[in-house]
Structure formats: C-alpha cells, structure tokens
Chain A
Amino acid sequence: MLDENLHSAFADAVRDTPPQTSDPYDRLIRRARRGRRVRLALGGSGLVAAALATLAIVPVAHPAGTGSIAYAGGPVMSDWARRLIASPTRGDLSDDAGYLAEFTGIAARHRADWQVAPNLTAVKVLYAGDDSGTRVVLLVFSNTDRAVFVWFSAPKGAPASLLAKRPTLSNDLEPFATVSYSARPYADKDTTRFTIGLAPAGCRIDSSSDAAHQAWVPVPTGSFAALDTATSAQWWRVTCDGVVHYLGPAEGSGVYLLPTVTDSQLAEALTGARGTVDRDVARFAVSGLEPGTGPVLTTGTPRVLWGGSVPGEQSDPAVVAAAPLANGRGWYVYFETYNPKAPGGAAARTSFKVGTRVALDDPRSLFGLRTADARSNPTDQILVLAPRDAVSAIAVTAGGDRVADVRLTDGIGWLTSTPRTPVTLQALGAKGTVIASYPLDSPSDASVADVAPTIDNW
C-alpha cells in the first residue's frame, strides 16, 4: 500500500496549485517570443555567439532546388501576427501593383529553390520601398498557422528579377517585423544601411532619440518606419488599439558585414595589448566591434586587450578586444579564436561578445572573462585580466573559501576549473594584498549591453 500512499501524498502536495491569472497559452507565446528576441539580439546579455549574420536568419546565397524543406514556417504566434499578414502592403512602392505582382510571381516560382514548405500557400508582399538608395521588400509565405518571413534588398529602382536574387529567410515572423542591414552588398558600392519596422496596419509608431526616451514623435508613415541606420540610439514605441505593445530599440534582426580595418587602425587598437597577439585574429575582432556591426552600439576605437591561446585548445590563436558602449554603461568585450589552417581560412571556431561595467581602460581594473564553447555554453575557464603588477588571482566564494587560483604573468592568467557558482575574483599584489576584485558572472554585467526592449508584448 506504500504506492497508494505515495499517490495520496502527491495529491496533497499539488493541492495548492497557484491560481492562473492569465491564459497559459498566451504566457507561453510571450515567453517564446522573448526567446526569439534574445536569440536575434546579437550581443545581448550573457554569452552570445558572434557571426557575420544574426543567427536565426540565413541569407540564401545558392538556391538548392533539391526539393528539401529548410523553412517549414514558425508558428503564427498571435492574432497580431495575423493582423500583420492581413495588412495592406506598405512602403512607397505599395501603389505599384504591376511591380508587386511581378515580384510576387517571381517569389512564388522560386519558393522551391528557397526551400520553403509547399503548404505555405499564401504569398504576400508586406512592405516594398526605396529607402536610402536601397530597394527593400519584405514578403511572407503563410497559411493559417505558420509563416516564413523573407526580405530582399537591391539597389534603388532594381527590377523585380534582380531583387529576388537576394532573399534572406526566417521562420520567425514577429507582429512587429523589423530588419536591419549594414553591409556593402555590391562590392564596388558604399556601405548600405537601413532599418525597417513594420507594425500591423492601424498601429502607430512613435520614435524617440533622447537618452531617457521621454520625447516621442509620431513617425510620418504611421504604422511603418524606415531609418537609414542599422544601429541607432533611436527607440520605437508601437501602439495598437490604445495599448503600447513594443517599446525598445529601433533595430531589427539582420545582417551586418564587417568593415575593413586598416593597418593604422589595427596598430592603434593593438597599443597596450598583452600576450602574443595574432594580427589576423585581432583585425577580425576589431572589425567586429566597429559601430554598425551589430545591434549593440559601440563608440570610439576598439582596443585589443590580450592575445594568446586557450588552455587545451592547442595553438589556436585567440584574441580579446573591447570597445566602449555607446550607452556609457561599460564596455563591450569580444572574444575570438579560430584555426587559421582550417578549410576556408578564417573559419570562426569560438567567438562571443559580452558586456561589462568594468572600466577596461583603467590600468587598475580587474576583469574575468568566462569563455564559451563553440555552442556558446559557458566553460570552467576564466581569462583573468588584472593590473600588470598583480602576481596572482584567486576565486573566492561568498563564504570566503578559495576555490581556484592562478599565477599571473603581466597581469594575465587562466583559471581553468572555476565553478559556475557565484565567486569573486581577487587580484593579489606581491605582498599578497588584494589590489582589485571583480564579481565573476555578475548579473549587473549581463545587462550593460542589453538591447532588449522594455515592452514587447503582443
């Protein structure tokens, strides 16, 4: 009868189920959407893989045409997403019925090449416009349950056939669809930058450029907005039926190509770097910190803090570079390592970006960087960047227990088995005194480069 008693005990234990104050499905959808935003916000809080493109969106360079399906469509997660799909086409090309029909026809013919699921039978242009010298079209393949979101760009005035050659597809359609682009798509042309925000018809977008986001001005185009910058201090507020559904940075998921770093820029960035720096990796890392290479806005000249190799990673060169955050809250740190002998040359092995409140330009500061593996999972390895006169570093628990230590060379060392529990790093001078400390994995660090919106509720 013991088992019967256990069932009874279980029933007693779950008797006080907390009251559900809202629809569980709606809560689930909100959480799923937050997850999407986090994935798409390259360089947000925590460890985020860095790449040339934000991760959930894949530019299609070589149509496959194999009959396979890469884009089955993500769930249409709310009635607002349905309203967006049902909205009339926006943008200054929205009245060009001939162009839209031609483009929609081309898209329908190429859907197999783009590996879009055949059951997404509806094809519709949501936005078409010439913005900042670029023609941009946002299109959706959908049915009642799922949707694939596709955006295209080409030089202003491009014919539909040319525009359709540059699709970028995503299974995630947000009710407030946003796209940012910063690149030189046509090798001999200047960098193209734009950001598009598209809300369901009937909604209103206001923008704000002041630091506190208090002064809101309606955008003249109403339910959509187009900016000529891929990253901006500007915020958007989207109001639908009298309710604010989005309040956050005016930016979108998108593609950011890295600018070229000249030799003189690299030399400036390398000033004061410690360790043995691989110049190719450093150049790559510095380029990835330039303003406009992601949604997190940096300012000033990036600097290389350290170069060397990760313990246990053989001789693969690694670099840590950093740049001040434009929001003034700290620094943006970029860890990059690759195997230069791998096929394809500079194939990135492990890279990520994190924010920190530590003033990395202060020679007395202490910073500990927990590395991540190739899948962005944190590891037990901590790179210690301490004042140059520090001779050792230790990790101390809240109870005062020393759980790891390392001798430093030029203020640099690796803690290789640091527990993933709250510890404080301490840098010790020659006499054993603490000359700097740093709370490792500090939650306050995680938020300094946060680009998450304040409200994102649909």
Chain B
Amino acid sequence: MTDEGFRDFVRMRYMDLLRTAYLLTGTWPNAEDLVQIALMKAMRNWSRIDDPMAYLRRALANQRATIWSRMRRQPLPVGKLPDHPDSRDLAESVAQRDELLRALAGLPPRMRAVLVLRYWEDLSEADTAGILGCSIGSVKSQASRGLAQLRSVLAGSRTPVGGSFDVG
C-alpha cells in the first residue's frame, strides 16, 4: 500500500476510528489522542500492513491499555444541554450516555476493549481474540462479565428502534 493510500485511508476512516476510540477512552480529546498515536504508528509501518483496520483496532486496544492510568484521572464529560425544545429527551439522552461512559470507565481496559470490539465494531469472537491476542474463551468470558456489569446501565437505556428489550 502506498503512502498516498495512507492519506486516503486516514481521511476515509478517521471518524470511524475516532468513535471507537471514544468508547475506549470516554472523552473526545483522549479519543483524538489515541487515534493519532495509533495512526502515527501505522504511518511508520504502512508499507508492511496488509489489513489496516485490523492493525488500527489492535493499536487502539493495546495503546488504550498503556495510557489507561493517565486517562482515568481525567473527569468524565459532563453533558451540557443546548437550548432545544425537546430538552427533556436530550437531558435523558445525555444522562444515559454519561452513565454508560462512567460504567465503561469502571471496567478493566481489556474487558472494555472486548465489549467495544464485539458490540460496537461487530467483530466476531475469533476476530476480537485475534486483535487482542487472547483466546476465544477469554473473549467470551470477558464479554459475559462485561455485559453483566453494564446490565443496570443498559436496563435504563432506550429500546432500539423497531426492536425489543430484554435484560434477561
């Protein structure tokens, strides 16, 4: 892949990476920081990278663990409500988001990464295990325990459009 390809890749996938990083870190500035660190690493090795998204996901998850202690000292974002006619819904939405982020912040980094890769990136257990360098069994157990810890938060979130809601 050429360096021009790297430029195109960054422009095309930056926002996807940023969203994943946000779920891993809990704040947009930290997410930006994480994505840029991972991309700079990718830039140096670009010619040798076959699957850029897999590489970047791995870099995000692993770098996430190394800078965890620095980030967790920073406060989680507090939702600021804009003037809006539907402010009650917005307030509820912001509160739920903050609660989710707070709950995620309470998980071990590896467990959080499993949840983000499995349920945001929609990766298979095998792919998640490959990215995190662990066994499929470990992914299963981490996902199960992570979901259990988020249960109360998820129970309060809104039902997906057109779907049902079951905490059982």
Known contacts A5-B154, A6-B119, A24-B10; is-contact A12 B97 (Cβ 8 Å): yes
Evaluate contact between B18 and A17: CB separation under 8 angstroms. yes
Count of interface residues, chain A, beta-carbon cutoff 8 Å: 31
Q: B160 contacts which chain A residues (CB < 8 A)?
A: 4-5, 7-8
Contact with A along B90-101 (1 / 0, CB 8 A): 000100110011
Q: B145 contacts which chain A residues (CB < 8 A)?
A: none
Contact with A along B36-72 (1 / 0, CB 8 A): 1001100110100000000000000000000000000
Which residues of B, 18-38, contact A by the 8 Å Cβ criterion? 18-19, 22-23, 28, 36
Contact with A along B3-22 (1 / 0, CB 8 A): 11011001100110011001
Known contacts A1-B166, A25-B11, A145-B3; is-contact A6 B23 (Cβ 8 Å): no
**A27-35, A85-93, A296-304 - interface stretch:** A27-35
Known contacts A2-B147, A3-B147, A31-B36; is-contact A14 B22 (Cβ 8 Å): yes
Which residues of A, 2-22, contact B by the 8 Å Cβ criterion? 2-14, 17-18, 20
Evaluate contact between A28 and B116: CB separation under 8 angstroms. no
Minimal beta-carbon separation of B139 from chain A (angstroms): 13
Count of interface residues, chain B, beta-carbon cutoff 8 Å: 46
Tell me if A146 counts as interface (CB < 8 A to partner B): yes
Minimal beta-carbon separation of B44 from chain A (angstroms): 8
Evaluate contact between A146 and B3: CB separation under 8 angstroms. yes
Tell me if B150 counts as interface (CB < 8 A to partner A): yes
> Which single member of B4, B40, B167 contacts A145 (CB below 8 Å)?
B4
Evaluate contact between A28 and B39: CB separation under 8 angstroms. yes
Q: A308 contacts which chain B residues (CB < 8 A)?
A: none
Known contacts A7-B122, A12-B93, A32-B40; is-contact A2 B18 (Cβ 8 Å): no
Evaluate contact between A17 and B15: CB separation under 8 angstroms. yes
Evaluate contact between B40 and A13: CB separation under 8 angstroms. no
Closest A residue to B7 using CB positions: A25
Closest A residue to B94 using CB positions: A16
A-B contacts at CB below 8 angstroms, number = 100
Evaluate contact between B15 and A20: CB separation under 8 angstroms. yes
Closest A residue to B160 using CB positions: A8
Known contacts A2-B166, A6-B154, A8-B157; is-contact A27 B100 (Cβ 8 Å): no
Closest B residue to A145 using CB positions: B3
Minimal beta-carbon separation of A18 from chain B (angstroms): 5
Q: A20 contacts which chain B residues (CB < 8 A)?
A: 14-15
Q: A425 contacts which chain B residues (CB < 8 A)?
A: none
Tell me if A76 counts as interface (CB < 8 A to partner B): yes
Q: A421 contacts which chain B residues (CB < 8 A)?
A: 73
Minimal beta-carbon separation of A339 from chain B (angstroms): 30
Q: A27 contacts which chain B residues (CB < 8 A)?
A: 36
Q: B120 contacts which chain A residues (CB < 8 A)?
A: 7, 10-11
Known contacts A1-B163, A14-B19, A145-B4; is-contact A6 B11 (Cβ 8 Å): no
Which residues of B, 98-116, contact A by the 8 Å Cβ criterion? 100-101, 115-116
Tell me if A275 counts as interface (CB < 8 A to partner B): no
Closest A residue to B5 using CB positions: A145
Closest A residue to B119 using CB positions: A6
In the complex, A25→B101 CA distance in Å?
28
Tell me if A23 counts as interface (CB < 8 A to partner B): yes
In the complex, A18→B157 CA distance in Å?
22
Known contacts A12-B96, A14-B23, A145-B4; is-contact A5 B157 (Cβ 8 Å): yes
In the complex, A50→B150 CA distance in Å?
48
Q: A5 contacts which chain B residues (CB < 8 A)?
A: 154, 157, 159-160, 165
Tell me if A439 counts as interface (CB < 8 A to partner B): no
> Which single member of B19, B116, B151 contacts A17 (CB below 8 Å)?
B19
Q: A11 contacts which chain B residues (CB < 8 A)?
A: 120
Q: A144 contacts which chain B residues (CB < 8 A)?
A: 3-4
Closest A residue to B166 using CB positions: A1
Known contacts A17-B18, A145-B3; is-contact A9 B153 (Cβ 8 Å): yes
Evaluate contact between B22 and A32: CB separation under 8 angstroms. no
In the complex, A23→B96 CA distance in Å?
31
Which residues of B, 127-168, contact A by the 8 Å Cβ criterion? 147, 150-151, 153-154, 157-160, 163-167
Evaluate contact between B40 and A35: CB separation under 8 angstroms. yes
Minimal beta-carbon separation of A108 from chain B (angstroms): 23
Q: A4 contacts which chain B residues (CB < 8 A)?
A: 160, 163
Evaluate contact between B101 and A10: CB separation under 8 angstroms. no
Which residues of A, 369-414, contact B by the 8 Å Cβ criterion? none
Q: Which residues of A contact B (CB under 8 A)?
A: 1-14, 17-18, 20, 23-25, 27-28, 31-32, 35, 75-76, 144-146, 421
What are the 10 tightest A-B residue pairs by CB atom distance, in nearest-first order?
A145-B3, A24-B14, A1-B166, A14-B19, A8-B160, A6-B119, A10-B120, A25-B10, A13-B97, A9-B157
Apart from A2-B147, A145-B3, 13 more pairs, CB < 8 Å: A5-B154, A5-B159, A6-B115, A6-B119, A6-B150, A7-B120, A8-B163, A10-B120, A13-B22, A14-B23, A20-B15, A25-B7, A75-B6
